[in-house]
Amino acid sequence: MSGHDDADGAGGPGGSDDAPGTGGVPDVALDEALAAVAGEQPLINSVTNDVTVNDVANVTLYWGGLPVMSDDEREVGDMVGIADGCLLNMGTVSESGEETMLTAGRAANERGVPLVVDPVGVGATPTRDRVADRLVTDLDVDVLNGNYGEISALVGDDAEVRGVESVGEYAEIAAAAVECARKTGAVVVASGETDIVATEETAFEVDAGHSMMGAVVGTGCMLGVTLAVFAAAVDDPLDAALAGTAAYGLAGELAAEGAFGDYRGPASYKIAFLDAVAGLADASTPDIADRIDRIEVR
Ligand SMILES: Nc1ncnc2c1ncn2[C@@H]1O[C@H](COP(=O)(O)OP(=O)(O)O)[C@@H](O)[C@H]1O
Ligand SMILES: Cc1ncsc1CCOP(=O)(O)O
Ligand SMILES: [Mg+2]
């Protein structure tokens, strides 16, 4: 992993020391993580797809970060070099976009900028498989997020990725996520009804979120940039992934409960969800410890 230094002093919550291999669950304080984000206002460069780019920018801002979406080969290295976090999302990647993502990722690695990769649609076509393979082989990825189908496809398990959607059953998703972490060196977030956060040694399930999130295009992409924001402000990539994943799910629940306005369907739910992201730090933020469980994986 590339890791990053903490020159500004905004470390955020720690607690992963007892996590790997000891049966423990990291003691991650969500309020401290949100305060670290607010304090640092991390600049996040997202090289992302044409479908959800605006939502990704807004979610960056609503968590307290600063979004920029440089995807020009001439400047992306400079922009990532002055950023606090970088997201590479291959949802609509082109031939030139593939090179731009690699340029951005290398700049992140060289400067110790936390790097998040979302291999959208890997498993659907040979081109996406090849691009994803280059990203995880050539780059040191701190956090990798994908839906169950994408994470399974990355490790060669049976997967059904139709376009960018995960379909089918994934009974072994925790084991696939750990295998993916071993293959990539990243902390892996496998998203679905229950999110799995995995390291090379172990896996955790994060019980937060709402089924309405699955009805909105872009919730995976917005999770990716959420992870970049938290990785920029929280020292440890596992703590960042757990806090970011839990915070994101809690926002989804608050939106579904109507805490940020009534919704009538997926479109108005998306608006309520975005408001919930913006308002989560001021809403009562419950202890996330009881949302995170360790899963035994062989
Ligand atoms: N049925 C569900 N119940 C709870 N949360 C869900 C559900 N479906 C999706 N989510 C949440 O939506 C977000 C995106 O997940 P997912 O739909 O798997 O990604 P993608 O949009 O990339 O396919 C994650 O935070 C996930 O927890
Ligand atoms: C539909 C689509 N096609 C290419 S990228 C994209 C958006 C995918 O968003 P998400 O992975 O968050 O569902
Ligand atoms: Mg996705």
Q: Is residue 6 part of a domain?
A: no
- Give the pLDDT confidence of 105-163 residue by residue, as tens digits: 999 999 999 999 999 999 999 999 999 999 999 999 999 999 999 999 999 988 989 99
Q: Is residue 227 part of a domain?
A: yes
β-strands 85-89, 143-147 pairing: unpaired
Task: Select the more confidently predicted residue: 9 or 23.
Answer: 23
pLDDT at 194: 97
According to DSSP, the residues that pair with 86 across neighbouring strands are: 45, 115
Q: How confident is the model at residue 298 (pLDDT cuts 50, 70, 90)?
A: confident
Determine if residue 69 is labeled as part of a ligand binding site: yes
Taking CA atoms only, the protein residue closest to ligand 1 atom 20 is 220
214 within ligand 1 shell (Cβ under 6 A): yes
Q: How confident is the model at residue 23 (pLDDT cuts 50, 70, 90)?
A: low
Give me the chain's average pLDDT, please. 92
Q: How confident is the model at residue 168 (pLDDT cuts 50, 70, 90)?
A: confident
Q: Is residue 104 part of a domain?
A: yes
Best residue for ligand 2 mutational test, from 47, 48, 51 (most atoms within 8 Å of Cβ): 51
Q: Is residue 61 part of a domain?
A: yes
Within 10 angstroms of residue 130's Cβ, the number of other Cβ atoms is 12
Candidates 100, 200, 165; CA nearest to 87 is 100
CATH for 147: 3.40.1190.20
Q: How many domains does the chain have?
A: 1
Q: Is the separation of the CB atoms in 56 and 91 below 8 Å?
A: no
Q: Is residue 92 part of a domain?
A: yes
Range of the domain at 254: 23-295
77 within ligand 1 shell (Cβ under 6 A): no
Q: Is residue 15 part of a domain?
A: no
Dist. CA 70–CA 73, nearest whole Å: 9
Residue 250's Cα: distance from chain center in Å? 15
Dist. CA 206–CA 266, nearest whole Å: 23
Q: Which helix (H) or strand (E) holds 153?
A: helix 148-154
Q: Is residue 42 part of a domain?
A: yes
Candidates 123, 245, 118, 278; CA nearest to 184 is 118
Dist. CA 229–CA 227, nearest whole Å: 5
Instruction: Tell me what the mean pLDDT of segment 195-217 comes to.
Output: 98
pLDDT at 287: 86
**In 3-state terms, what secondary structure has residue 189?**
strand
Task: Select the more confidently predicted residue: 235 or 285.
Answer: 235
Q: Is residue 207 part of a domain?
A: yes
pLDDT at 8: 36
